[in-house]
Amino acid sequence: MIKDIQEEILRLKKERGAVILAHCYQTHDILEVADYVGDSFGLAQNARKTDAQTVIMCGVRFMAETVKILCPEKTVLLPEADAGCPMAEMISPDKLRELRNRYPEHAVVAYINTTAELKTLCDVCVTSSSAAKIIKRMPQDKILFIPDKNLGSYIAAQCPDKEIVTAQGCCPVHAAVTEADVKDAKKAHPNALLLVHPECDRTVVKHADFVGSTTEIMDFAKNSPAEEFIIGTENSIVQHLGIDCPEKRFFPLSKNFICRNMQLTKLSSLLHCLKGNYGEEITMPEETRLLAKKSIDEMLRLGNG
Ligand code: 13P
Ligand code: SF4
């Protein structure tokens, strides 16, 4: 049954001249039909490279918006219109204007998990895998980092030469994991390495053997000689690694580590989106796109190489 749907997806994809981009948190059956799978930075880089006229972004809304910002001539489709990232909505444009007034000398660095509208008010975007490199390369010493206070404080420790002020947002999924979860998981799996996403609270991050983006966590686990790992990010990564590395063992840091928004997209959503009767085409005012593009272009310029 899954194989039949996947074959139909591949046929329709070819017929429509579409490409499928998928974030690592999508289910494995979606990754199997995707043309590119990666973290937020890789998705933005690959969006620019494709010649296809239609891009289907399996992930959440800000990721599809990023594709549209970079590729205005393309039809960009989000298979599940309700798949949003709660963190992207945590700071309103008015709140950011207020913060800019309070910190007039600070450059505004926005995590890519923000709305297109908010990106119009930022100087540069970053992702979890590119933030430290980009901030170190920025000429400004004073940084206002929005909206993720956890990623912001992790990056502040990586960039001791910069004065970094963080906002009060967070990812509700990563922030819900606690130090008690770490203690329980380590007790149950004493030989496992702990791999953690920097959106987690610093009381969790401080116990990690490795901290990185979704792709970086997967690469680390695949290349490490270790055989057991506790995965401190969304549980889809436990599933992917278990399939990709059957000789190793992967355990979730918490059984509740599930992003409902990321898991909204099913293989059937993708199928119906390709059939043209489901999903949402991403649009935005050209003025918003052009202003938001400046911060994403800056991210790709400073984050590459
Ligand atoms: P990555 O850039 O690490 O894939 O993070 C995206 C995200 O939403 C993590 O919660
Ligand atoms: Fe947003 Fe958190 Fe889900 Fe990532 S895991 S998409 S940051 S809610």
- Note the pLDDT tens digit of each residue in 240-276: 999 999 999 999 999 999 999 999 999 999 999 999 9
- The residue nearest atom 8 of ligand 2, judged by CA position, is 85
Calpha distance 142→276 (Å, rounded): 47
Residue 286's pLDDT is 98
3-state secondary structure of 201: coil
Residue 233's pLDDT is 98
Question: Residue 44's CB: how many other CB atoms inside 10 A?
Answer: 24
Task: Map out the domains of the chain with their CATH numbers.
Answer: 2-86+262-283 (3.40.50.10800), 97-171+288-303 (3.40.50.10800), 177-252 (3.40.50.10800)
Atom from ligand 1 closest to the CA of residue 87: 8
The rounded Å distance from CA 14 to ligand 1 centre is: 28
- The residue nearest atom 6 of ligand 1, judged by CA position, is 40
What average pLDDT does the structure give for the chain? Answer: 97
Q: Quick check: 123 and 170 in contact, CB under 8 A?
A: no
Give percent of the chain with pLDDT exceeding 70: 100
Among the bound ligands, name the one nearest to the CA of residue 112: 1
Reported as a single tens digit per residue, the pLDDT across 198-231 is 999 999 999 999 999 999 999 999 999 999 999 9
| CA-wise closest residue to 214 among 237, 245, 181, 247 | 237
Q: What share of residues in the chain are helix, strand, coil (percent, to 5)? A: 45, 20, 35
| CA-wise closest residue to 25 among 77, 67, 71, 85 | 85
| pLDDT at residue 305 is higher than 80 | no
Atom from ligand 1 closest to the CA of residue 40: 2
The pTM of the full predicted model, rounded to 2 decimals, is: 0.96
Q: Quick check: 130 and 215 in contact, CB under 8 A?
A: no
- The residue nearest atom 7 of ligand 1, judged by CA position, is 40
Average pLDDT over residues 67-79: 97
